[in-house]
Chains A and B, each alone.
Chain A
């Protein structure tokens, strides 16, 4: 009796689950524990109306939510800034993704690498640099303006529009990566066919290109909007000086003070669930309504159009988001007190000397690189499997799984981290205060990011390709390895890089969870900004940026080499 026949008899008699159900179930269970375990503590805190110090709570109710009415201005600030920043970010991301994947703009490959830099430079550094540039009194731009005879100030970055601008500059690269992965796989023949029958370029863009990349654009829109809702660093640097609060900065103040107002902070965070649920519902309705298949085995041929104008657009975006902030930080880091026109006595290297004595440089760098590698590597596998479960499998409850894994996106990481802090503090295995806890935190909070990136590409892979392999007798695992994975490779590589960068730049979760021997970069820079001079913080930030840049360059070189070897 053959093995296959024996297997089918066993299944018939005892209804054994298939391999995909077992693996799918296990992965879904891991994701559910990662997300729901801290969420439980978060809700517990939000519903706690008794003594805040009593654990477990003695009294539950909705008074904390009723108290949110007092903070309506903060909630409106949050939504307003998030919307403005999302629109700007999508504009930057879509335009640059279209230029770099649908045209033969010169230096495309170099520009693609440069486009990732705004994301890893982090909104914190961007906000910091732009505050040095655009503060109404001390900003370099305004100092130059006054030196040229201008009155008052030319720009004021410490405003809601300033926050939206900075967030959009850096989240634009997230939108670029997500939309770009989708656009790369599109066959231009579809657009050319549109033009042949008489449609102009704009009409083709709107009627052909845009609808086909809709999953990627929608995914980017939802993700970017949720990121903006949870925005912390830009609002902290640019909003606090003008007493402009968003939910996250208000929560940080409430959690940090003594005694802390945890229930109110938790209620603020939980209130954002409703917004994300609505967004996710809309997204699923759109995605499941039509097919977005474009990967059919045909070659990719970019189009020739206004190459050097488009090159200038890309360079402008990279200049504003990367070059200008980094140059500003470098300029400030070598001064005692950063001004636009420093006297000779103002130059110094003391900031770099001091920076090397600090935890943030000594240990945080190494920790962040190790964590980044681990998060990205484990994350791609975990999130790839989850994407497959949600969008491709017939595992029962895949819709519920999607909502669960999107929970972290709905909650500002600071508050999610609070739930995690309590959840893992009482866990019998002592991982609190270690890098292990940060790894768990990162894998949890980045679930939406990874799944959105990978699923955006996965939706474009026609099921018929996998089904063909299945009809030829290939088992599930073999199909995944030989058919699905190669087709998803661009998306998986984009996801790996995105997860690595997200891990290195992570702030909201880390700032509450890092211990004395588990410091990581970005929260260490925030601590420095709070508690050191702008110039010292600039020096620290540049040292860290340089080291991470080297690590990323190494990754790109190695993956390119591996790809070349695979083709040989």
Chain B
């Protein structure tokens, strides 16, 4: 039994320093929180003004998830609140963050809520005042380390973690890699997949393995000439069809989805642990539909929203809510040994190096 490592004081110190950053051009005006009791809506509580939510009638969501996953989140929210018309933009975390920063720099504020899969851009966005500080009545369901510091900017709506996966049609179980260092075996040359440098979880894996195995690990990995793709669905698609033999960053959520489809794929959880990245949801400052944004954040944080995130076959997030039910597979996050950075300042600072090395590995 293991748990996600937390950075404790070091991360909090960084976040506090960042949060004290003076007002930037991207900063939104601090929103005055209404001094009234939360409203009960369906089976959760919200500070959103429901009358204004209906007036606004819209929600714009930026999300890193794959198309089906993002559409599923909007569909889930939309079914509970059919009077709110939802729209979304989907892109991998890096591209999504580029987009929103460019837009805001030019004075465009079109986004209500953003979901990212990497703490580095989330911290950066928080420093720039990109998040609206919103005190959700559902925040009590989370441990402080699963909220932003100070609380209110974003929260960990779930965790995605990855192991190794292989095609059962192409690889015999006795030959399959069992550890992360087995991936360096020359037999997997030109037969392995990974993710592109925009991916949050790929960055986590790169960072954690440098700590675990040293920087030479990735130099050896580069000799395997892996192919990189945008989404976990693509990775498993190729694995299921035998286009790749092994996936070096096989997200558990995708494995569950493809196993249910009947794909001939197997998942391996190496003993050293599984790189994990938090999935971060936050209300954006100067949102065009602020009340709808608050409602969405409260919905996502609630047991209702978390159950949706966990049970939907296109999502299968592991929830960090204290009272969360198991995932659709019956497992909980604590059943896995998860790896995430201890020093988020160091992690964030190494982003550029990761991008440069990863591009070089992919031939760019």
Contacts and interface: CB of A to CB of B under 8 A. Distances in A.
A479 interface: no
A432 B198 contact: no
B98 A357 contact: no
Nearest to B65: A531
Interface residues of B, number: 60
Contact of A426 (B94, B106, B230, B231): B106
Given A258-B198, A536-B68, A531 B90 contact: yes
A336 interface: yes
A254 B231 CA distance: 17
A258 B243 contact: no
Given A258-B98, A528-B67, A516 B233 contact: no
A346 interface: yes
Contact of B98 (A256, A363, A529, A530): A256
- Name which of A240, A245, A339, A421 has the most chain B CB atoms within 10 A of its CB: A240
Given A137-B241, A250-B364, A533 B91 contact: no
Contacts, number: 152
Contact of A257 (B61, B197, B233, B258): B197
Given A346-B262, A425-B102, A359 B364 contact: no
Interface of B: 60-62, 65-72, 75, 87-95, 97-98, 102-103, 105-108, 110-111, 121, 196-198, 225, 227-231, 233-234, 237-238, 240-243, 258, 261-263, 351-352, 355, 359, 362-364
Given A258-B93, A536-B68, A432 B108 contact: yes
A408 to B, nearest CB: 22
B230 A530 contact: yes
Interface in A20-63: 55
Contact of B105 (A55, A258, A529): A55
Contacts of A339: 241
A532 B75 contact: no
Nearest to B200: A258
Interface of A: 55, 135-138, 240-243, 245, 250, 253-260, 336-339, 345-346, 354, 357-360, 363, 421-422, 425-426, 430, 432-433, 515-517, 527-534, 536
Contact of A337 (B97, B103, B121, B263): B263
Contacts of B98: 255-256, 258-260
A254 B228 CA distance: 14
A515 B88 CA distance: 9
A257 B196 contact: yes
Contact of A259 (B108, B230, B240, B352): B352
Contacts of B90: 527, 531
Nearest to B245: A137
B66 A337 contact: no
A531 B87 contact: no
Q: Give the interface centre of A137, A422, A430 by most chain B CB atoms within 10 Å.
A: A137
A360 B105 CA distance: 28
A243 B67 contact: no
Given A354-B68, A357-B75, A243 B355 contact: no
A414 B219 CA distance: 32
A259 B120 CA distance: 11
A432 B108 CA distance: 8
